[in-house]
Structure formats: structure tokens, C-alpha cells
Amino acid sequence: MFKQKNGFSLIELIVCLIIVGILSQIGFIAFRSYSRRARAFAAKTALINVMKECQTNKKLNSDESFTSLEIPSYSFASRIKNCDGNKSEGLVFLNPDNTNELPTYFYDHRKGEVSCLYNGFINNLFNKCVSRYLKSNFEKNEFVIKNTFIERGCSAYALVKGNNWDEAEKQAQIIGGNLVTINDVEEYKWIQKNLVFDHKRLKDANYELKDPSKLSMYFVGLNDSDEEGNYVWSSGQKSQWKNNEDLIHRQNWIAQQGMANNNDYFVMHSNDVGFSDYVQKDYRPDLYNGKGGTLTWVDNNSSYYKGWNSPHFGIAEVDKCKK
């Protein structure tokens, strides 16, 4: 009697080879990602050291120059190691050999800041870098206000022209997003500070307002146009607020309930003080208690504020980490 020896069948062998191939590919991709992160981190660290050296020399009234170092996959844009960088932009650039794989880092001596730009498509590797691809993709559209592109985490924002809510939402969709979803209090405060309060983003972009003393209005994604009283974000995302009374200006919510049926959309405005510890002690402290936002009800055309000759824009938001 012969004992039968068990072995791999041809099918089992093929399956094993396929699995090994898949695992090898995953390992290769992971290694490449790690390698890119490591090289970018080394470049960023080197430029932070340049910043420290320049700032120290400035305090000591010494020659404001820096020591050049060899950095794998990177090189300084100029041979002259001056802290003020190139004459046109006043920045010290550290350029990668391949801008589609690695971000460009730059140091602004006047501001004392190190920032980065990424030429490739957005991914989770370098989502903190301003994407040249995404910015140029936004601004090729004439309805996007130039130089209003700004990022926070996985979100990229820009101001778009919008004569009404529908138009602003359509413009936001064209560039790959929606009108902004305010996910939590932190994002609300960030938008107030960096986009809307006192025309902040428009001023930073050198946008010429006809009358800066007038309020600017900014459409956001919140609406109940499909079902009265059912407030949703145009992106379909959820926010931290189950009760929108915490997000909507309490004066509007409590004193203007009669407006709700005819006003399905919302704006922020340029003197928004919601979620900023603002307290009105003399008039209705229950409404102005620093715990609520100041989203304001409007109809699709924002007819009420159009009567004030207030310019209107939309805050477009794109998820730049979305696969």
C-alpha cells in the first residue's frame, strides 16, 4: 500500500501566487508612501531650522542668511542663502525633484512661517499643504473669487459669486463640492475668523467692495427647502447639532418663527458674532449669550438683505481627502 502525499493543486498554487502578489503590491505602495513622507518631513525640518537660524540672526542684528544643507530629493531655489529669499516674493523655496510626488516648502521671513504647496492631486499624505492643483482647478472658473482659496484639514474653501442660494450651490457643485457644511463649533469659529467677519477673506484677496461699510452676506448649505422644518446640509453631511436652535441666531429662531415658511435658506454675514462669547447684557441676554451661532433665515434670493444693497457670495467647500 502506498500512502498518498498531499500537496498543492494547480488551482491552490495559483491562488497563493495571486495573494502573494497582492500583498507585495500593498507592501510596495506602503513603502513608497512611507518614503515620500520621510523625505518631505526631512525637508520641512530643514526649513524650520533655516527659520530658527534666520530669526536668531535677526534678533542679534547679524547677517540675515542661513546655512545650506544637502536634503535628499530637495534643493533650494536660489544659490544665495538670504533669509529674505527671492526678490519677487520674499520667500525661501525648498523645491522637490518631483513636484507631483513631494510638496514644495517655503519660508516667509517677514511672517516667520513655514508653509507648503503640493502640485499633485490631493491625498492623505500631504493634505495640510495648499494644493496647486485644487487651487488652479477652482480659480479657472470665473465665478470663483480669485485668491479666496483657503484650507483647513481635509476641507478646501473658496468664495463664489452667487446672486441667490440656488446659483451659489450650483457654482459650488461645479468645482466639486457644495455650499459649506458647518460640522461643529470649531469650524464655525474658524469660518467666522478666516472668511466672513469684517469681510476678512475678501480683504485678504484684495477684492474691491463697493462699500465696505455695508454687510456682506454668505450663503451656506443649511436649508429646509425639500421639507419644511427638516433642516439639512446640501452636501448630505451631518453636523454636531441635532437641534438647529443652537446653530441659528436665537433672535431669528424665537422672535421670527413666522418667517420660517417663506425662508428656507441661510446666510452668515460680515459682522457675525455667534460662538464668540459675545453677550448682550442690556437687550435679551437669553438670545445673545455667546452660545449660539448667527445663521440668519433668508429666501432663495435673500430679498431682505438685497434691499440693504448687501453683496452676496457663497462659501464653497470641497472635501479634498475624498477618494
In a domain, 126, yes or no: no
Q: What is the DSSP string of 23-57?
A: HHHHHHHHHHHHHHHHHHHHHHHHHHHHHHHHHHH
Domain boundary among 119, 138, 165: 119
In a domain, 132, yes or no: no
Alpha helices in 99-192 (DSSP H): 132-139, 165-174, 185-191
Domain tally, the chain: 2
What is the domain extent for residue 40? 36-119
Q: Is the dihedral of CA 135, 130, 84, 109 positive or negative?
A: positive
In a domain, 263, yes or no: yes
Residues 259 and 114 in one domain: no
| Closest C-alpha to 50, from 1, 17, 9, 83 | 83
In a domain, 98, yes or no: yes
| Closest C-alpha to 251, from 276, 215, 280 | 280
In a domain, 187, yes or no: yes
Q: How far is CA 189 from CA 193, 194, 199, 291, in A?
A: 6, 9, 15, 12
What CATH number corresponds to the domain at position 272? 3.10.100.10
DSSP state of 258: G
**Residue whose grid cell is 479657472:** 140
Per-residue pLDDT of the chain (323 residues; tens, 9 = 90+): 555 555 556 676 666 667 766 666 665 545 567 788 888 888 898 889 999 999 998 888 888 888 888 888 899 887 778 888 876 667 888 889 988 888 888 888 887 888 888 876 555 567 667 777 678 778 889 999 999 999 887 888 999 999 999 999 999 999 989 999 999 888 999 999 999 999 999 999 999 988 888 899 999 999 989 988 888 999 999 888 766 667 776 666 666 666 667 788 999 989 887 787 778 788 777 777 777 778 888 999 999 899 899 999 999 999 876 65
Count of C-beta atoms within a 10 Å radius of residue 115: 17
Residues 246 and 154 in one domain: yes
Count of C-beta atoms within a 10 Å radius of residue 37: 13
